[in-house]
Amino acid sequence: MVEMIEERSAGPLPEDPDWERTIPVRLRPAARLSPGQRQVIEVDYGMVDGKAVLELRVAMLFLFLRRLGLDRGDGLVEVAN
């Protein structure tokens, strides 16, 4: 037997300032790389003058840093800001 459930409005969603706010994250090739390796990274990441700027939601910053290995300090790129 199927029971009917009355639909109710969940109401307005609470504001999430970390989701609404974005910040620029500036990347550059890791300083420990050789000049040739840095050039390869610049091309791979579409960097201009050795830098790439990405706009990220504050709420996603932790995941972004972790995904690129920037939280470990042994990645191919590093945060410049």
Q: Is residue 14 part of a domain?
A: no
Q: How confident is the model at residue 3 (pLDDT cuts 50, 70, 90)?
A: confident
Instruction: Write down the mean pLDDT value for the chain.
Output: 90
User: What is the pTM for the complete model shown?
Assistant: 0.73
Going by C-beta distance under 8 Å and a sequence separation of 6 or more, which residues neighbour residue 16? 59
> Mean pLDDT, to the nearest integer, of 31-47?
95
Query: pLDDT-derived band of residue 52, with 50, 70 and 90 as boundaries?
Result: very high
Q: Looking at the domain assignment, is residue 12 inside a domain? A: no
Task: Look at residue 5 and tell me if it is in a domain.
Answer: no
Q: Indicate whether 37 belongs to any domain.
A: yes
Report whether 78 contacts 31 (CB < 8 A): yes
| Predicted pLDDT of residue 75 | 83
Q: How many domains does the chain have?
A: 1
Residue-range definition of the domain harbouring residue 33: 19-79
